[in-house]
A and B are shown apart, each in its own frame.
Chain A
Amino acid sequence: MIIQIIVVIIVLSLLGFFIRNTVNNLEALGAEVGYGFLFNPSNYDINQHLIEYSSRSTHLRATMVGLINTGLVAVVGIVLATLIGFVAGVLRLSSNFLVNRLAYIFVEFTRNVPVLLWILLWHGVLIHSLPHPRQAITIYDVTFLANRGFYVPKPLLDPLFWLVAIAAVVAIIGAVIFSKYAKRKQELTGEQLPVIWINSALIVFVPLLVFWLTGTPATLEMPVFEGFNFKGGIVLSPEFIALTLALAVYTGAFIAEIVRAGILSVSHGQTEAAYALGVKPSWTMRLVILPQALRVVVPPMISQYLNLTKNSSLAIAVGYMDVVATIGGISLNQTGRALECMSIVLLIYLCLSLSISAFMNFYNKRISLVER
């Protein structure tokens, strides 16, 4: 109890100390703290904005644009990192000498070099080795790869397209119902239905059919080279690609080790027992090894996802306009409001991280329930 009171006193007095100093310092400078500047025009442009934005938009809008850009890198990075991690982790255990050595070299070399350096290197390699848009590498004049980015056609949706969207939702619901039915049937009769095939067909073909029936209510906007750059289509900038790839590969190397450790953690007896029961090797992996490995793999993997999200703040090194580069970067520089801008950035990251950890705790609880 006594110790608690003392700790509280120390913490409070430290906080008081900081707050008092801050107030004093700001007073001395004659600057007032306020977030009103957020509603002033930002006066700068952002190259990648998924929502409407121009230099007349407010700083608040710029923050939103940055936040969405951060989210985009995080989501794409996490998906890629998981893929890379699983592939590299499995290759690391391959019986093929060359392959597992190569995977080993990849993992060790990637993990042991700072991620900032990777981002800079990837960016350098992308912009130096890819051709100018004029000589862009192209696939049937539909997608283009150049050192200004990766250009793909952009679907322009007609009003009728919502029917297709509804069809997709219906198909997914149908798939869920079917898999439940199949599971029950298997439990009752032991008969197995080709769930994966039927469900994939359902999800792919139903929307396609509706799409065709409604008279293809969408057109593609092709990227066309015009003047200095490609116009039209969707462009992934080299900054985005470099940042995402660097983060994905770096995090992927860590995930590879996690996956490897996870698979190794499942005792060999499990495999042997499954074989003894006559379970096919591919089924053994899917039904016996992976579910057990996953329980070991998922918690550290989510903390890697968290790291990736936080590391996306290094975007500033290559000029990708994430939340640190917008509100914590240009807005801060232009308005000079360091306290306000940094507090917003810290708050945003805190929210992101805490929601990811909350999800992780939820998941941990769930799998520990499964454990019985």
Chain B
Amino acid sequence: MAELNKQDYEPGTHVDLAPPVSQVGITGWMRKNLFSTPTNVVLTILTIYFLYKVIPPVLNWAFIDAVFSDLDHRNECREIAGGACWAVVRARLEQFIYGFYPEHLRWRVNLTFVLMFVALLPLLYDNVPKRKYLLWFSLIYPFFAFFMLWGGLGLEDVESAKMGGFMLTVLIGMTGIVVSLPLGIALSLGRHSSAPIIKVLSVWYIEFFRGVPLITLLFVASTLLNYFMPPGTHFDLLLRVIIMVILFAAAYIAEVIRGGLAAIPKGQFEAADALGLSYAKSMRLIILPQALKISIPGIVNTFIGLYKDTTLVVIVGLLDPLGISRATLADSSWQGLSTELYIFIALGFFISCFAMSRYSLYLERKLDTGHRVK
């Protein structure tokens, strides 16, 4: 007895006695995590009440009273149940993915999409087997993708007006980020450089594109860009939008990389100079590899932002998922089902963006254990 009273063990860990019910198991967990202080008790009760109020109606609408079957008209949905009419998503699912890309050519989109991951793999993870060869593939991939999607050289041409849905989102986002990367690097070096004119021009560029909303740039692309080109020049809206997105993204990438450059200790620059390396060499071999490595999470985050911003192209009339939903809702069979479509699109974005932000977190953690400059 006397020994028990000495209590040289943590509560609940004594070998002979069962731990108090209040310390372990569900009760223990609840005491620790839900009801530890009076404030927490109140918060917990409020939260549970909130969840109770919100979750059942949402579940009812989205699942229990919802219609999932393959129907042709919204009225058929209403006849079955009063909840969500997911039949509209089912009827237009292919459009939401491919836009109006010709059906017999969709394998090209699928192939391009799958190979995109093969091309991304060596860039995103550094312990991929045969990374060197894969990197070569990554380099060729953009040209390959362009050829696959637009056609040419024997493949049937597909006009850009046929592209839409999530395919368009990925296309604009990926092209934007890939092409803007070199431009962004150049701009960040320009901003970092000691040459006054280049510095000023880079700063102007970056401040201009970061200072105006993307939507106004898209308006410029859709209404004004033609004025800036030689008379009669004709290149299509998608291309113009992509150009604007590239110019826009480059400014943001430049700022991300500038952050990376700023984080590199001065000693690195001085050491490179001391070794007698030329500017180009010191940048290429010493500075940029470090700066880019630090910047990768930022670049991924910029990409997520850009990917989400591609929804704005609907405002200039491109058929991204929101544009497809607009076209769908204009069909009198499916009028009025906007909530279902918006939620479907929101889920699509959530899944992809969440996955990417997880990846970016993973990278940040990985880099943190490395030699980040504090």
Contacts and interface: CB of A to CB of B under 8 A. Distances in A.
Q: Are A and B in contact, CB atoms below 8 Å, in the complex? A: yes
Nearest to A25: B227
A366 to B, nearest CB: 19
A21 interface: yes
A261 to B, nearest CB: 11
A339 B216 contact: no
Nearest to B342: A121
Contacts of A332: 223
Residue among A97, A117, A324 having the largest count of chain B Cβ atoms under 10 Å: A117
A328 B40 contact: no
B211 interface: yes
Contacts of A22: 227-228
| Chain B interface main SS type | helix
Contacts of B229: 21
Given A4-B195, A4-B197, A357-B207, A94 B43 contact: yes
A313 B349 contact: no
Interface string B171-210: 0000000000000000000000001111001000001101
B59 interface: no
B157 to A, nearest CB: 28
Contacts of B124: none
A7 interface: yes
A22 B215 CA distance: 22
Interface magnitude class on chain B: 35 or more
Interface in B227-275: 227-231
Nearest to B225: A18
Contact of A353 (B51, B197, B211): B211
B306 to A, nearest CB: 11
B308 A113 contact: yes
A316 interface: yes
Given A98-B48, A342-B223, A357-B207, A11 B201 contact: yes
A113 B352 CA distance: 10
B322 interface: yes
Interface string B340-372: 001101100110011001000000000000000
B226 A99 contact: no
A349 to B, nearest CB: 5
B91 interface: no
Nearest to B347: A113
Contacts of A95: 33, 36, 40
Given A21-B229, A21-B230, A121-B346, A97 B208 contact: no
Interface stretch (A104-112, A140-148, A175-183): A104-112
| Chain A interface main SS type | helix
Contacts of A114: 308-309, 311, 349
Interface residues of A, number: 53
Contact of A109 (B48, B304, B309, B350): B350
Nearest to B305: A307
Given A113-B353, A328-B216, A345-B216, A97 B34 contact: yes
A316 B51 CA distance: 33
B231 A24 contact: yes
B346 A324 contact: no
A21 B34 CA distance: 68
B22 interface: no
A156 to B, nearest CB: 37
A354 B207 contact: yes
Given A324-B215, A357-B207, A25 B231 contact: yes
A97 B226 CA distance: 56
Interface of A: 1, 3-4, 7-8, 11, 18, 21-22, 24-26, 28, 94-99, 102, 108-109, 111-117, 120-121, 124, 128, 310-311, 313-314, 316-317, 324, 328, 332, 338-339, 342, 345-346, 349-350, 352-354, 357
11 contacts: A3-B195, A96-B36, A98-B33, A108-B357, A112-B349, A116-B311, A117-B322, A124-B342, A342-B216, A345-B219, A357-B207
